[in-house]
């Protein structure tokens, strides 16, 4: 098989702009362990005819939920895994809170998802071929948390972007 050459390899790495991943992870307002296990899926895209990266995985491994008292700050520990035979560079990682759920997994309208903010990770993260890296994402709670938010679970949707390393 013929080598693509250094210029084409650079072009390939620049054309693969998006490797997305999302995980729905439970975040409680109190300290009980989440009952719903984290699930992961991921999506990648690339230019037709070029070697495509497999999607990297994002898994919330925090264990204990963040206690969401007014003005509180916490963190979510996230493992980024690279299933590719080449290293990748994760350029960005973010998490968006969804509508909070009660113990029966029903939406609670009196508690907006905006109560919770997850600060995007903008540091570049190198992940070796077949390797994994753990990062921390800062979680901030609004100063005015409605009483309806007590004992709720906030689903988080994670997404990120990576390219050839």
pLDDT tens per residue across span 57-87 = 999 998 777 777 888 898 999 999 999 999 9
Q: Which class does domain 6-164 fall in?
A: mainly beta
Give the pLDDT of residue 86: 93
The answer to whether 59 and 39 are in contact (CB under 8 A) is no
Strands (E), the chain: 19-25, 39-44, 57-60, 73-81, 88-97, 116-118, 125-127, 132-141, 156-164
Taking only the tens place, the pLDDT of each residue in 79-93 is 999 999 999 999 999
Order of strands across the sheet that contains 57-60: 57-60, 73-81, 132-141, 116-118
H helix runs in 6-157, sequence order: 6-15
Residues 6 or more apart whose CB falls under 8 angstroms from that of 103 comprise 151
Q: Determine how β-strand 125-127 pairs with β-strand 88-97.
A: antiparallel
pTM above 0.75, yes or no: no
Q: Which residues pair with 116 in a beta bridge?
A: 141
Predicted confidence pLDDT, tens digits, the chain (165 residues): 455 555 545 444 434 423 333 233 333 333 334 444 333 434 434 433 346 888 999 999 987 777 778 888 989 999 999 999 999 999 999 999 988 888 888 888 889 989 999 999 989 999 999 999 999 999 999 999 898 888 888 888 999 999 887
Task: Tell me the two tokens of residue 6.
Answer: 């250094």
Residues 10, 29: Cα–Cα separation, whole Å: 46
Task: Tell me the two tokens of residue 48.
Answer: 């037709």
Residues 130, 89: Cα–Cα separation, whole Å: 13
The answer to whether 62 and 37 are in contact (CB under 8 A) is no
The answer to whether 7 and 15 are in contact (CB under 8 A) is no
């Amino acid at each position: 098989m013929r080598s693509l050459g250094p210029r084409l390899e650079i072009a390939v790495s620049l054309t693969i702009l998006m490797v997305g991943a999302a995980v729905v992870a439970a975040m409680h307002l109190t300290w009980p362990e989440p009952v719903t296990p984290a699930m992961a899926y991921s999506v990648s895209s690339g230019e037709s005819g070029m070697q495509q990266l497999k999607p990297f995985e994002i898994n919330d491994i925090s264990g204990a939920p963040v206690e969401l008292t007014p003005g509180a700050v916490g963190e979510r520990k996230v493992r980024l895994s690279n299933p590719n035979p080449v290293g990748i560079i994760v350029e960005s990682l973010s998490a968006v809170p969804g509508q909070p759920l009660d113990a029966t997994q029903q939406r609670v309208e009196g508690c907006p998802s905006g109560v919770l903010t997850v600060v995007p990770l903008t540091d570049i993260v190198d992940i070796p071929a077949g390797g994994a890296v753990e990062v921390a994402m800062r979680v901030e709670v609004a100063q005015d948390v409605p009483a309806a938010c007590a004992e709720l679970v906030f689903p988080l949707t994670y997404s990120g972007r990576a390219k050839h390393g």
